[in-house]
Each structure stands twice: as C-alpha cells, then as structure tokens.
C-alpha cells in the first residue's frame, strides 16, 4: 500500500486511523454481522452511531443546548436555497461576497427575496476580507451571510462581521473543526463535510432553535424545511448513514488529539511552515493579503504559467498530489486540512525548495 500526500481542496484527505478503523469494521460492525452501509437507519445499533456522533460534535464545539445539530444531504450548495427559504421572513438578507461560494449563495438567495450585497472583495480577485466592522445592513434584513473560509481564494475572517444585531449565517465548509468557535455568535453554522470532516454526501447544520419554524416561504418542499429534520432528529428519511458514521470517527479522532484548541495549534504550526517559506521564496508567492490568510487553503503562484504547470506535474510524480490551483485563480493551491500531517507540509516545502534551486 502506498499513500500520497493529498492536497485536494475536497473531497480531501482523511485521518489514516479513521480509514483503518472503518476498514476493520467493514464486514462486521461490532458483532452485528453486517457493514454500517447495510443496516437499517432505524436500528438500535445505528441509533447509537448517530447519537454518539452528535454528542461528540456538541462536546467538541461546545454547542449550547438551544442549538440543534442536523445531518442533512444536498451538499453545502443546497443550503444556499434552504437558508433563504427558511429564514427570509422579511424577504431580505445581507450578503458579504468574498469568493465564489459566497457569490453563489448570494445569487441563489435572489430567487427568494431581496439579497443585498453589503460588502465584496471581488475588485481584487477575492484576495482579502473586506472591513466588516461598520457595514450598512438594512434594518429589516433577516440575516447576514458569510462564507467564513474561502476555499478557492484562501482567505479567512479573523473577526466576525458586526451584524448590528442581525442573525449571522456562516458557511464553514472548509474550516469546520479547524479551531475553537463560539457557536452562540451565529444563528446557523453549516458546512459540507467533505473538506475537513468526512466523505462527501453529508452536510452538517448547527441552527439556533428559534430559527426552526413552520413559517417558511410558500412552496418550500418538506425536505427543505429545517423543522422537518429537527423534529425527526435527522431521521425523517434515510440519512447519509455511512458518511455520518465516518464523521463520528473523525470527531473521536479530534477528541483524542485534544479537541479544537489542539487542532488550532497543529493547523497554525503547519500553515506557518508553508507561509514562512512563501514569504522568503524568490520563485513562489502567496496570493492573499497576509492578515487574511487561511490556515486551511494556501494558494500560491510563480508568476509564470508554464513554470506552474511544470511544478504541479513534478510534484505529482514525487507524491504530492492535487496541487493545481482552482481554474479561476490558476497557479497552485495546497489544502492542508486537519488530517494533513505536519510531515506532509514539511516534505512539500522541501520539494519546493529543491524545485526553486533547479529552475
């Protein structure tokens, strides 16, 4: 068996311990004589899996009792519609557009009401986070929407926006569980798990109870109402059962390593290795304003498209895969999520040094 260092933005690297454990339990989960993939989601044994996953996530994120945790499907992209359908009582919401995912959410919201762009960093290819300390937020906006870590552009909010009392909704797909978080500051925190937690097919929505109501936009399908899933403890219909089981294993892995404070320390250490190298390199340059740099996604360029392509190709041959940047940015991007070991980043930097010397 040979594993590569996988810098994919998502689906992305998972902890080896988790994959090994899942392999061991594949044929016979805890004496049930079957795989978790084969069991009823209404069985006692599965109930324990989903309940334990939720309890561990609550412990990790210190989720207050007045928040519900929902395990849903449809990816983060489905939330772009579900959020306005459930929250737009006044048919108005404020969006901060800091990248492609925030922009898609903003455009989707326009289908359901008045989505107001209150800030954007599109003028400089989303390479920074705008000042959000004093934005003009409409009085009657139902919520303020952000994408907290911009997977494609590699920026991250270091301070949450001043919402002036409005409900904050955040897409945290690519920074989920990467550092401690104060859940009470948000109305909704959600993310697809395929970046930093588990396999594609699960989206986790952490939502304050008062936002779960029958009062959704007319025509909202049953499956797209938060209330449907909250009332049924995420078992209204068949959930993405196997994916939730893997997420549960990742929660336990994080707990074992010391929780979110330990994750933050690890992630800062890893990111520093790469950013420090970029800051002194004559060939490779980071593309993001320094104070807004993400700990998870690190885009960089050489300034020469052919050299970029050569780097990506030679890196792949050396076992560093999925380093090609997003098509809208070009260059390279190293996604260094929780499960990327420090050694992977160190070896990548060694490889970059060697490449710089030789080219």
Nearest-angstrom CA–CA distance, 54 and 37: 19
**49 contacts ligand PLP (rule: CB under 6 A):** no
Helix, coil or strand: residue 229: helix
Residue 328 or 359: which CB sits closer to ligand PLP? 328
**174 contacts ligand PLP (rule: CB under 6 A):** yes
User: Which residues have a Cβ under 8 Å from the Cβ of 235 and sit 6 or more positions away?
Assistant: 41, 42, 50
**95 contacts ligand PLP (rule: CB under 6 A):** no
- Give kind and range of the element (H or E) at residue 61: helix 44-61
Binding mask 101-140 for ligand PLP (x = CB under 6 A): x---------------------------------------
Read off φ and ψ for residue 308, nearest 5 degrees: -55, -50
Nearest-angstrom CA–CA distance, 157 and 259: 21
Residue in 21, 25, 52, 75 binding ligand PLP, rule: CB under 6 A: 75
**299 contacts ligand PLP (rule: CB under 6 A):** no
Residue in 15, 113, 187, 192 binding ligand PLP, rule: CB under 6 A: 192
Query: Checking DSSP bridges between strand 155-156 and strand 92-97, what pairing results, if any?
Result: unpaired
Q: Could you tell me which stretch among 22-30, 74-82, 224-232, 285-293 binds ligand PLP (CB under 6 A)?
A: 74-82
Query: For ligand PLP, which residue has the nearest CB?
Result: 75
Q: Could you tell me which stretch among 22-30, 155-163, 166-174, 260-268 binds ligand PLP (CB under 6 A)?
A: 166-174
Sheet architecture: strand order including 297-301: 285-286, 297-301, 332-335
Could you confirm whether 195 is annotated as catalytic?
yes
Give the Cβ contact number of residue 233 at 10 Å. 16
Q: Could you tell me which stretch among 169-177, 205-213, 261-269, 317-325 binds ligand PLP (CB under 6 A)?
A: 169-177
Q: Could you tell me which stretch among 73-81, 250-258, 262-270, 332-340 binds ligand PLP (CB under 6 A)?
A: 73-81
- What are the angstrom distances between the C-alpha of 150 and each of 153, 193, 251, 266? 6, 15, 23, 20
Residue in 7, 10, 29, 93 binding ligand PLP, rule: CB under 6 A: 10
Q: Of 92, 195, 225, 324, which one is the catalytic site residue?
A: 195
Q: Of 101, 156, 253, 292, which one is the catalytic site residue?
A: 101
Residue 75 or 259: which CB sits closer to ligand PLP? 75
Nearest-angstrom CA–CA distance, 359 and 357: 6
Binding mask 145-164 for ligand PLP (x = CB under 6 A): --x---x-------------
Nearest-angstrom CA–CA distance, 132 and 291: 14
What angle, 0 to 180 degrees and rounded to 10, lies between the N-to-C axes of helices 305-317 and 342-358?
Answer: 130
Residue in 108, 171, 292, 308 binding ligand PLP, rule: CB under 6 A: 171
> Closest approach of Cβ 173 to ligand PLP, in Å?
4
Give the Cβ contact number of residue 239 at 10 Å. 22
Which residues of 200-341 form beta strands (DSSP E)? Answer: 203-208, 285-286, 297-301, 320-321, 332-335
Cα 178 to chain centroid distance, Å, stands at 9
**198 contacts ligand PLP (rule: CB under 6 A):** no
Q: What residues act catalytically? A: 101, 171, 195
Interface residues with ligand PLP (CB under 6 A) are: 10, 75-77, 101, 147, 151, 171, 173-174, 192, 195
């Amino acid at each position: 068996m040979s594993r590569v260092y996988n810098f994919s933005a998502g689906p992305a690297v998972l902890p080896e311990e988790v994959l090994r454990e899942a392999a061991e339990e594949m044929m016979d989960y805890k004496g049930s004589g079957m795989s978790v993939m084969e069991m009823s989601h209404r069985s006692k044994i599965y109930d324990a899996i989903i309940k334990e996953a939720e309890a561990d996530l609550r412990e990790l994120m210190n989720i207050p009792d007045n928040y519900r945790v929902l395990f849903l499907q449809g990816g983060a992209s489905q939330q772009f519609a579900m959020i306005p359908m459930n929250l737009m009582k006044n048919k108005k919401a404020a969006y901060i557009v800091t990248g492609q995912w925030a922009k898609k959410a903003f455009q989707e919201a326009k289908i359901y009401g008045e989505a107001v762009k209150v800030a954007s960093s599109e003028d400089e290819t989303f390479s920074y986070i705008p000042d959000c300390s004093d934005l003009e937020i409409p009085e009657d906006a139902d919520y303020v929407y952000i994408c907290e870590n911009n997977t494609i552009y590699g920026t991250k909010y270091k301070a949450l926006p001043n919402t002036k009392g409005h409900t904050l909704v955040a897409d945290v797909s690519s920074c989920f569980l990467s550092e401690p978080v104060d859940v009470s500051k948000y109305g909704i925190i959600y993310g697809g798990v395929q970046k930093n937690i588990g396999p594609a097919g699960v989206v986790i929505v952490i939502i304050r109870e008062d936002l779960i109501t029958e009062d959704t936009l007319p025509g909202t399908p049953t499956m797209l109402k938060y209330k449907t899933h909250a009332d049924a403890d995420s078992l209204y219909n068949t959930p993405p059962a196997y994916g939730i089981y893997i997420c549960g294993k990742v929660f336990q892995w994080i707990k074992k390593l010391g929780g979110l404070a330990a994750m933050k320390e690890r992630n800062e250490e890893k990111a520093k290795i790469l950013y420090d190298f970029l800051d002194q390199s004559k060939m490779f340059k980071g593309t993001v304003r320094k104070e807004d740099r993400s700990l998870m996604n690190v885009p960089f360029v050489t300034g020469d498209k052919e050299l970029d392509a050569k780097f990506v190709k030679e890196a792949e041959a050396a076992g560093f895969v999925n380093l090609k940047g997003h098509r809208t940015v070009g260059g390279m991007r190293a996604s260094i999520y929780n499960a990327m070991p420090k050694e992977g980043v160190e070896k990548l930097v060694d490889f970059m040094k060697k490449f710089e010397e030789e080219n």
